[in-house]
């Protein structure tokens, strides 16, 4: 029964952690559901240094999003990069928190299944309990 007590305590600890996480998820700050990427490109001029092994042009910054099998990119000018990167970072943190929440729920469910197995009365013992009670009643 000691392992059941440890499982219950662990569940309570996980529930506290989950509650804090849920509170943070309920009031998110403004965010952009995109990933921020940095890209370097070759230009269209065949005589340019970028075609002769020199450095590529860039960096250019984009917000990218994959939805319904399609990718959409939005170019971000450098002067707006600092504000937009904050929004993209918040979305990344929000998604990370959702993943943590799913993992907490999985762990709680696993512990509950452990408690269920420990508390389970096998059919042979159940028959003994039923038959033992009948003998006492007679």
**What are the sequence ranges of the domains in the chain?**
2-137
Q: For the residues 118-131, what does the mean pLDDT come to?
A: 79
Q: What is the pLDDT of residue 137?
A: 53
Provide the pLDDT confidence category of residue 126 given band limits of 50, 70 and 90. Answer: confident
**Burial class for 60, CB neighbours closer than 10 Å (0-12, 13-18, 19+):** middle
| Residues 93-119 pLDDT 10s | 999 999 999 999 999 999 999 999 888
At residue 1, the pLDDT reads 57
Beta strands 70-76 and 35-41, pairing class? unpaired
In degrees, rounded to 5, the angle at the alpha carbon of residue 22 between the alpha carbons of residues 104 and 102 is 30
Average pLDDT over residues 42-47: 94
pLDDT of residue 40: 96
Tell if the pTM clears 0.85, that is, is over it. Answer: no
**64-79, pLDDT tens digit by residue?**
998 899 999 999 999 9
Residue 134 clears pLDDT 70, i.e. is over it: no
Closest CA to 39 of 23, 62, 21: 62
Q: Check residues 53 and 106 and name the one with the higher pLDDT.
A: 106
């Amino acid at each position: 029964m000691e392992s059941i007590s440890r499982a219950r305590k662990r569940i309570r600890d996980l529930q506290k952690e989950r509650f804090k996480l849920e509170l943070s998820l309920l009031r998110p700050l403004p965010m952009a559901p995109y990933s921020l990427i940095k890209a370097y490109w070759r230009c269209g001029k065949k005589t340019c240094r970028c075609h002769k092994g020199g450095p590529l042009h860039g960096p250019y910054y984009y917000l990218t999003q994959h939805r319904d099998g399609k990718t959409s990119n939005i170019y971000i000018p450098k002067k707006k990069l600092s504000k937009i990167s904050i929004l993209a970072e918040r979305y990344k943190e929000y998604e990370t928190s959702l993943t943590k929440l799913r993992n907490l729920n999985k762990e709680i469910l696993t512990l509950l299944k452990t408690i269920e197995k420990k508390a389970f009365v096998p059919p042979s013992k159940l028959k003994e309990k039923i038959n033992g009670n009948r003998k006492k009643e007679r």
